[in-house]
Amino acid sequence: MCMDKALLEATAAALVAPGKGILAADESNGTMSKRLEGVGLESSAEARRAYRANLFATPGCEDAISGVILYDETIRQNMDDGTQIPDYLTSRGIIPGIKVDTGTIDLEGCPGEKTTKGIGAEPENGWADLGTRCAEYFAMGARFAKWRAVIKIGDGMPSDQCIRSNADALAQYARICQDADLVPIIEPEVLMDGNHTGDKCSDVTVEVLRKTYEMCEVHGVYLPGTLLKPNMVIPGNASTVQSTRDQVATSTIDCLSLSTPRAIGGIVFLSGGQSDEDATAHLNIMNAGGQEWQLSYSYGRALQAAALKAWAEDGAEASQAAFAHRAKMNSLARSGDWDISLES
């Protein structure tokens, strides 16, 4: 199959358009159920649909949201009026995307480390191979995809095998997506779990990104038709020394400058355990300095936490208001125009 490079580039550019970023609403059914239960709500396919449909219907959210990453269940569901969710998003000028990895598994020979699956068919779980699924998702309206690798820092971790395994899987996934005309979001997440320093996070992130792009070259991935979804450079959450917001922003840009090709379509950060406000502030500082990449967001909890709480406590309109506020704050951070005073 021959990829449509022009379409891939156009989609990638639209996803990182000025003032816009991506809503990550691709939590697995199990994870989304836990989050609903965490705010005192019962979970079901309908409960997950109702919450997300209300979020997607937020008035004006298309001004700050360029795309939404969906889960397999969600891309097959409808809005309250019966419109299929991908069709509804498209009608609002929001690009539908899809999570295509099928989760992590233990990496053989590397205790405590994970690799991500989803390339081959998994008949026991009802999953077709990735190429078949990508073609189906494209026909359903998706125009981009996401695959998350998980890298843990610890005693002897990450191992070279862990880094190589995840880099190769990310590159294979990216090429398969592009052959189906889906823009791949490449997400190698170095986790915040641990007591490691910010410098250690930076060193590992540089190594992981370099290996990932080395494998992308091996697999013939077209970089302008890709987006990178990296972690920011932040000390482990159990570290006794935490970085200031300015230090996080500076370290993250330095890390990317050492590891990331200029040819990629853009960067959409994950929020990865940060508070809502920290995720916005870090992005704002990076953009205020002016960068050679488009620096945007692909946030899950940092866009949804307040909205989910409001959904449980105060209902639909309050949930939309909370989501609209966080989306607006991050939209401003895209151009370095956010300020703490706007949070009140």
CA 142, 103, 17 angle in degrees (round to 5)? 35
Domains of the chain (ranges, CATH numbers):
5-335 (3.20.20.70)
Q: What's the sign of the alpha-carbon dihedral 89, 147, 17, 280?
A: positive
pLDDT at 128: 96
169, 133 contact by CB (below 8 A): no
Confidence of residue 147 (pLDDT cuts 50, 70, 90): very high
Confidence of residue 2 (pLDDT cuts 50, 70, 90): confident
In the residue annotation, 117 being an active-site residue is answered as no
pLDDT, tens only, 74-94:
999 999 999 999 999 999 999
What's the Rg (C-alpha) of the chain?
Answer: 19
Closest to 159 (Cα-Cα) out of 218, 112, 195 = 112
Average predicted confidence (pLDDT) for the chain: 97
**3 state SS of 60:** coil
pLDDT, tens only, 270-307:
998 899 999 999 999 999 988 889 999 999 999 999 99
**Is the pLDDT at 161 greater than 80, yes or no?**
yes
pLDDT at 1: 62
Average pLDDT over residues 155-173: 97
Is the backbone peptide bond immediately before 261 cis, with ω within 30 degrees of 0? no
Q: How far is the C-alpha of 42 from the C-alpha of 19, rounded, in Å?
A: 35
**Is the pLDDT at 137 greater than 70, yes or no?**
yes
Helices (H), the chain: 5-15, 29-38, 45-56, 72-75, 85-91, 130-139, 160-179, 198-218, 245-259, 276-288, 301-313, 316-333
pLDDT, tens only, 175-213:
999 999 999 999 999 999 999 999 999 999 999 999 999
Instruction: Calculate what percentage of the chain has a pLDDT beyond 90.
Output: 97
Residues 6+ apart with CB under 8 A from 281: 245, 333, 338, 340
Place of tokens 């050679």: 292
Confidence of residue 61 (pLDDT cuts 50, 70, 90): very high
| Options 187, 189, 211, 328, the catalytic residue | 187
Q: Which two tokens stand for residue 72?
A: 């397999």
**Is the pLDDT at 3 greater than 80, yes or no?**
yes
pLDDT, tens only, 14-60:
999 999 999 999 999 999 999 999 999 999 999 999 999 999 999 99
| Options 20, 99, 114, 229, the catalytic residue | 229
In the residue annotation, 229 being an active-site residue is answered as yes
